[in-house]
Amino acid sequence: MNDEGGEENSPQNLVALELGCSVCSACENNLCSVPANRVLSAVSGVSTVVSQTSHAVKARRLILHNGDTQNSVPVICSGWAASMKLLPDGRRQILSFLLPGDIASAGLLFTPKPGLVVEAITDVHYRAFKYQEMKAMLLSKPGVLDKLLNDCIAAQSRADRLIVDLGRRSGEERIARLILNLAQRLKVRGMMRGPDQMDFPLRQHHIADATGLTQVHVSKVISDFRRSRLVEFHQRSVTIIDLEGLRRRADVRSCARAREIFYARSAA
Amino acid sequence: MNDEGGEENSPQNLVALELGCSVCSACENNLCSVPANRVLSAVSGVSTVVSQTSHAVKARRLILHNGDTQNSVPVICSGWAASMKLLPDGRRQILSFLLPGDIASAGLLFTPKPGLVVEAITDVHYRAFKYQEMKAMLLSKPGVLDKLLNDCIAAQSRADRLIVDLGRRSGEERIARLILNLAQRLKVRGMMRGPDQMDFPLRQHHIADATGLTQVHVSKVISDFRRSRLVEFHQRSVTIIDLEGLRRRADVRSCARAREIFYARSAA
DNA sequence: CGCTTCATTGATCAATCTCAACTCGCGTGG
DNA sequence: CCACGCGAGTTGAGATTGATCAATGAAGCG
């Protein structure tokens, strides 16, 4: 685990940090000790602060190793990260992208997850909370627990959606859905650059590892999206030009077999 | 939802029922009112019994509809079921197979899951617990809550494994893993027929919907497994003849790209 | 400047799907 | 008892999707 403390104070990083905090579950639950939260806990009269460490890591570095004993739980303050699993032969599958405010995995609060790796996509600031303290504290505060449980359940339903995507949708659909999904998540956080534009620090291999495809194939599909004037990529950002068109690619499938099954079932 | 109460009492059904109960989380938590549990609660001094209904459904019938308001949570007492999601065009993806003792989805205790469907594979007995009562009761009993949380987390990590399988493994690997996985789960429950033989009520289309493949392709892969003398199918049961061989099919992949990535990373 | 990462593109190959035909076993109604 | 239909599985012949391989160029960085 990285041993560096300290916040940077270049303007945009502070902004990102605040953005993260404003939607951060650790913050909402008064677990965090960044200034804004200190104020907040003072106001709400709750002063519980779980011991924690603050870290900065460069892009492409690991936040959570595989070999780690994992006695702490990272919460992203700024930047993008990915939580993934690695197969022994080098194949990798991204389980989810972590945006500011996201807890690496709510389940981690209760059990370490062997085989889980979290990697920074951009430069990332995160806080690591001690796992046992956190747990003890949670069990004493029903309100907090409830919120964590919701996190857990939300994670589960995101996982379910991903399972359906990977099992039953074409590459094109998966990529379109990924883009729409990220736009949605950023919108909730107020992190869109404009109505249709967002930061997009993902490399094509991230998209590949998230959608179960190859980087080469991702390139081809995205080129097609671009040619069809659905989206536009400028340096590390995406603009959705034709939302409806993109949605259509995300959902529609003119598949003879699907139709056949459909008719079979509605007849029954 | 089915409105039939009543237990059947043909010998093997009673056996199955008991087997289910002996590993059932509802039972462990003293939520259930079947005779064995009544005794158990009396012994342990806890008499909380959440109001519940008992149901029997035929194979291929739904236990949980999509349109259902889902104010209750099914727990399987005997038989096999599948929880799945349906796409509007008829494609379907099985999220997990439910064996006796399984709760349809631990998350259901806290929020209804729109779009989730549970279908009986064999004839099934299940109990449905009222969702709000259950929740209220859980929050008052920390021990029970803890156990449920574990269920939740276990579900999550099963989901993660499935995501990796669907995203990054070949059809052959997925099918081999599914078989091994089911054998493992049955073994834990003491439900194996012999050291290497188990009930296997799944149709090929169930395997297809669980692995994201086509029934036709499943047929071909399984034929190959059979020809390679890895497994044998007799009416509704499977014998694993060559465990090591099957494991090899479940894991190995001689994939040039994977090796390349591997070397690239170990060099870095 | 030289190195590395990232993206693009084309040619070819492999896995998987689609379509269709056929078998088999089972239950049902005549 | 038989005919029939249905669900399930098998098999083969293409068609498609996506992977692999390889070459090239552009961008970023010490």
For the four alpha carbons of B87, B91, B97 and B98, in that order, the dihedral sign comes to positive
Rounded to whole angstroms, how far apart are CA atoms A179 and A247? 10
Q: How is residue B11 written in tokens?
A: 């010998």
Helix (H) or strand (E) holding B12: helix B11-22
More confident residue, B152 or B159: B159
Range from A137-146, B25-34, B147-156 that averages highest in pLDDT: B147-156
CA–CA separation, B194 vs A253, rounded Å?
45
DSSP B196: S
Rounded (5°) CA angle B121-B127-B132:
125
pTM here? 0.87
Tokens 């590892």: give the residue. Answer: A209
Cβ of A43 near strand C (distance < 7 A): no
Q: Where are the beta strands (DSSP E) in chain B?
A: 52-57, 62-64, 72-78, 81-86, 92-98, 116-120, 124-130, 197-199, 231-234, 237-240
Q: With CA atoms as reference, report the closest residue to B190 among B99, B75, B98.
A: B99
Residue A70 has pLDDT above 50, yes or no: yes
Whether the per-residue pLDDT at B148 is higher than 70: the answer is yes
Q: Is a pLDDT exceeding 60 seen at residue B137?
A: yes
- Chain B contacts of A262, Cβ < 8 Å? 89-90
| Among A residues 156-215, those touching chain B with beta carbons less than 8 Å apart | 156-157, 159-160, 162-164, 166-169, 209, 211-212, 214
Contact assignment for A149 to B149 by CB distance below 8 Å: yes
Highest mean pLDDT among A128-142, B8-22, B160-174, B181-195: B160-174
Task: Provide the CA B182 distance to its chain's centre, in angstroms.
Answer: 8
CA of B178 to C1' of D6 (A): 28
B64, pLDDT greater than 70: yes
Closest C1' nucleotide to B172's CA: C15
Quote the pLDDT of residue A36.
Answer: 53
Q: Which nucleotides of D are covered by protein (CB under 7 A)?
A: 7-12, 17-22, 28
pLDDT value at residue A267:
35
- pLDDT tens across A150-170, in order? 888 889 999 999 999 999 999
Q: What's the whole-number mean pLDDT along residues A74-94? A: 93
**Contact (CB, 8 A) for A238 and A186:** no
Confidence of residue A13 (pLDDT cuts 50, 70, 90): very low
Q: How confident is the model at residue B115, as a pLDDT?
A: 87
The DSSP code sequence of A67-124 is S----EEEEEEES-EEEEEE-TTS-EEEEEEE-TT-BS-GGGGTS--TTEEEEESS-E
The percentage of chain B sitting over the pLDDT mark of 90, rounded to a whole number, equals 46
Beta-carbon separation of A168 and B92 below 8 A:
yes
Q: Which residues touch strand D (CB under 7 A)?
A: A 170-172, 212-214, 216-217, 235, 268; B 60, 203-205, 215-216, 219-220, 222-223, 226, 255-258, 260
Closest CA to A181 of A202, A158, A201, A197: A158
Rounded Cα distance, A91 and B259, in Å: 9
Note whether B45 and B69 are within 8 A (CB): no
Hey, which residues does A124 pair with through a beta bridge? Answer: A57
Interface residue B255 vs chain A (CB under 8 A): yes
Lowest mean pLDDT among A107-111, A207-211, B149-153: A107-111
> Is the pLDDT score of B75 beyond 90?
no
Which one, of A173, A91, A167, lies nearest residue B166 by Cα?
A167
The two tokens of residue B206 are 């169930």
Which pLDDT score is estimated for B169?
A: 98
Give A203 to chain B, closest Cα distance, Å.
16
Enumerate the residues of chain A whose CB falls inside 8 A of the CB of residue B211: 167
Burial of A212 (0-12, 13-18, 19+ CB in 10 A): buried
B53 or A167, higher pLDDT: A167
Q: Which of B85, B89, B147 to mutate to test the interface with A (most CBs of A within 10 A)?
A: B89
Over residues A196-221, the mean pLDDT reads 97
Instruction: Give, for B102, the enclosing helix (H) or strand (E).
Output: none
Q: What is the pLDDT of residues A29-61, one digit of tens each?
A: 666 666 555 544 544 444 456 777 888 999 999
Interaxial angle between packed helices A171-188 and A243-251, expressed in degrees from 0 to 180 and rounded to the nearest 10: 130
Residues A222, A82, A94, A59: is their CA dihedral positive or negative?
positive
A137–chain B nearest CA distance, Å: 14
Predicted local confidence at residue B81, as pLDDT: 97
pLDDT band at A130 (very low <50, low <70, confident <90, very high): confident
Three-state SS at A46: coil
Q: Which residue has the tokens 């490399």?
A: A203
Inform me whether the pLDDT recorded for A116 exceeds 70: yes
As a whole number of angstroms, the distance between CA A95 and CA A84 comes to: 5
Range in A5-9, B46-50, B210-214, B233-237 the model is least confident about? A5-9
Q: Which of A153, A160, A259 sits opposite B111 (nearest CB)?
A: A153
A-facing residues of B in 2-61 (CB < 8 A) are none
- Joined tokens for residue B247: 């494991």
Answer yes or no: do B162 and A164 touch at CB < 8 A.
no
**Residues A163 and B116: beta-carbon distance below 8 Å:** no
A111: pLDDT confidence band, cut at 50, 70 and 90? confident
A68: pLDDT strictly greater than 70 = no
Chain A residues inside the 8 Å CB shell of B142: 139
**How many CB atoms lie under 10 A from the CB of residue B85?**
21
Residue A205 CA to nucleotide C7 C1', Å? Answer: 10
A87 to chain B nearest CA, in Å? 9
CA of A38 to C1' of C3 (A): 47
Q: Is the pLDDT confidence value at A137 over 80?
A: no
What is the overall mean pLDDT for chain B? 80
Task: Give the pLDDT band of residue A246 (cuts 50, 70, 90).
Answer: very high
By the CB < 8 Å criterion, does A248 face chain B? no
Compute the distance between CA of residue B53 and CA of residue B133 in angstroms, rounded to an integer.
13
> Which residues 122-151 on chain A approach chain B with CB closer than 8 angstroms?
139, 142, 149-150
